[in-house]
Amino acid sequence: MNPSPNRLISLSQARAIVDSLGPLASEETPLTEALGRITAEPVCAAGNCPTVDSSLKDGYAVRSDDVAAATADQPVSLVITGTVVAGAATSPTVGPGTAVRIMTGATLPAGADAVLAAEFATERDRQVEVRANAHAGRNVLRAGSDVSAGEIVTTAGTVLGPGHLGLFAAAGITRLSVVRRPRIMVAAIGSELVEPGQPIGPGQVAASNLVTIRGELQRIGLETDGVLLTDQLDRLESVFAAILSSHDVLLTCGGVLDGDKDLTLRAMDRLGVQRLFHRVRIGPGKGIAMGRIGTAVIFNLPGGPPSNHVAFRQLALPGIRKLAGYPAPFTGHKTALLTETVHGTNGWTQFIYGRMLAQKDDGSRHVQPLTELPRLQAMAVADCLIELPEEIDIRTAGAPVTIWLF
């Protein structure tokens, strides 16, 4: 089904190829280190939470039958036979006509079937005067009511947040299986490039893509390596070979066309990389290529910053998300209404940097296309990409568009 390499394919064809990537192998992690990781398989509760029936209130563990008739006018007196607090190993049983003082979280004593909250009782000597009834189960948190042993608490492909970790801890889970994080190298290619943060000489260009792309990945919890390479084919070939033996993903920036100094894909060919596509009908970003060799996946991104970033956001990032275990990598899009008319290119999917406006009282959301700003400045203030599909060459102010939120 793959289109032949070197032919311009549509964005939806490219997305289908990216979507066919599967997750990397799983590994075990201790619960305490699982924040932000993605589950490789469903997670089952190891035990009940709570482990026993326990009290939701400070009060008195009673037999509901004993207090069924208790009212403020006709209180019922019970003999207190002891006290039980959370974590106590044992407690007295509750027999007819008796009660046990109980604190929140304590195990419900044998014989009791309800807890009467302290507000409805008065203690005197070793007796308690009960002024309200408590039906069976009142103020009792049943064993396993939060989570029961064996229950599936989370499906595979879940990004774990703090709430998941709390749930797992309560369910007695100590270790779990998560998808291995991809090892990613971002390589900027071009003899004119200098390291971001270093002085820029005449004719030189800061390799700004390196910090942008690495920052994008860091923001979703993925550490990356970075390298800057000059336009020398032999050296590119040997450096790429080393990277591909130690990393799961290689992202290259620059040199993807056929100009004299566009050596990136030539080096890929020399290494025998299988090219899945090269050139997609998206603007900016058309020069993107995707390849595979062994278990490694390669995205060759164009060098120009907006092209680089759009190609990364639309295709490379979803591919990395798929490897990292996200089941649905093309998420994060919504619909918004344009504040002004924009032009696309018929036959091409056009992306425009945009900024969301505050939601209106009627619930509508508007997006402002940042067409007036210089490209790097638009990238800095944008919070989304506006997508104009292939068949559209103009969208007028007020019309709905798909936006991809950052």
Q: Which residues make up the interface to ligand LQZAQKY5 (CB under 6 A)?
A: 188, 190, 192-193, 205, 207-210, 253-257, 262, 284, 286-287, 302-305, 307
Comparing C-alpha atoms, which of 295, 333, 244, 273 is closest to residue 11?
Answer: 333
C-alpha 11/C-alpha 314 separation (Å) is: 9
Q: Residue 23 or 285: which CB sits closer to ligand MOO?
A: 285
- Token representation of residue 182: 């991809």
Indicate the angle between helix axes 317-324 and 11-19, nearest 10 degrees: 20
Question: Of 34 and 315, which CB lies nearer to ligand MOO in the complex structure?
Answer: 315
Q: Would you tell me which residues interact with ligand MOO (CB under 6 A)?
A: 283-287, 302, 304, 307
End-to-end, the C-alpha distance of the chain in Å comes to 31
Judged by CB, which is closer to ligand LQZAQKY5: 80, or 205? 205
Comparison of 102 and 256: residue with beta carbon closer to ligand LQZAQKY5? 256
Other beta carbons within 10 Å of 218: 12
Token representation of residue 66 = 């004993």
Q: Which does 185 bind (CB under 5 to 8 A by kind): ligand LQZAQKY5, ligand MOO, none?
A: none
Least distance (Å) from ligand LQZAQKY5 to the CB of residue 187?
9
What is the closest distance, in whole angstroms, from the C-beta atom of residue 44 to ligand LQZAQKY5 in the complex?
46
Residue 144 contacts which entry, ligand MOO, ligand LQZAQKY5, none (Cβ below 5-8 A, type-dependent): none
Residue 229 or 403: the one with the smaller Cβ distance to ligand LQZAQKY5 is: 229
- The angle subtended at Cα 55 by Cα 53 and Cα 61, nearest 5°, is 100
| Segments of 138-239 assigned E as strands | 140-141, 152-154, 175-179, 184-189, 193-194, 205-206, 224-229
Choose the contact partner of 253 out of ligand LQZAQKY5, ligand MOO, none; CB within 5 to 8 A by kind: ligand LQZAQKY5
Q: Nearest approach, Cβ of 25 to ligand LQZAQKY5 (angstroms)?
A: 31
The residue assigned the tokens 């971002």 is 186
Q: Closest by alpha carbon to 252, among 193, 330, 166, 294?
A: 193
CA dist., res. 88 & res. 76, Å (int)? 28
To ligand LQZAQKY5, the closest distance from the beta carbon of 276 in angstroms equals: 18
Give how far Cα 358 sits from Cα of 281, 353, 363, 364, 406, Å: 32, 17, 10, 9, 16
Query: Which of 59, 285 has the CB closer to ligand MOO?
Result: 285
Q: How far is the CB of 343 from ligand LQZAQKY5 (least distance, A)?
A: 17
Torsions phi, psi of 56, nearest 5? -95, -5
Q: How far is the CB of 314 from ligand LQZAQKY5 (least distance, A)?
A: 14
- Residue nearer to ligand MOO on the CB measure, 57 or 286: 286
Cβ distance to ligand LQZAQKY5 smaller for residue 255 or 354: 255
Least separation in angstroms between residue 191's CB and ligand MOO is 20
Beta bridge partners of 26: 179
Residue with tokens 């939701």: 56
Task: Give the shortest CB-278-to-ligand LQZAQKY5 separation in angstroms.
Answer: 11
User: Whose CB is nearest to ligand LQZAQKY5?
Assistant: 303
Alpha carbon 394 to chain centroid distance?
A: 34
Buried b (16+ CB within 10 A) or exposed e, 49-67: bbeebbbebbbbbbbbebb
Minimum distance from residue 308 beta carbon to ligand LQZAQKY5 (Å): 7
Instruction: Work out what residue 190 binds among ligand LQZAQKY5, ligand MOO, none; the CB cut-off runs from 5 to 8 Å by kind.
Output: ligand LQZAQKY5
Quick one: how far is CA 288 from the chain centroid? 25
Indicate which of ligand LQZAQKY5, ligand MOO, none lies near residue 366 (CB less than 5 to 8 Å, by partner kind): none
- CB closer to ligand MOO out of 284 and 329: 284
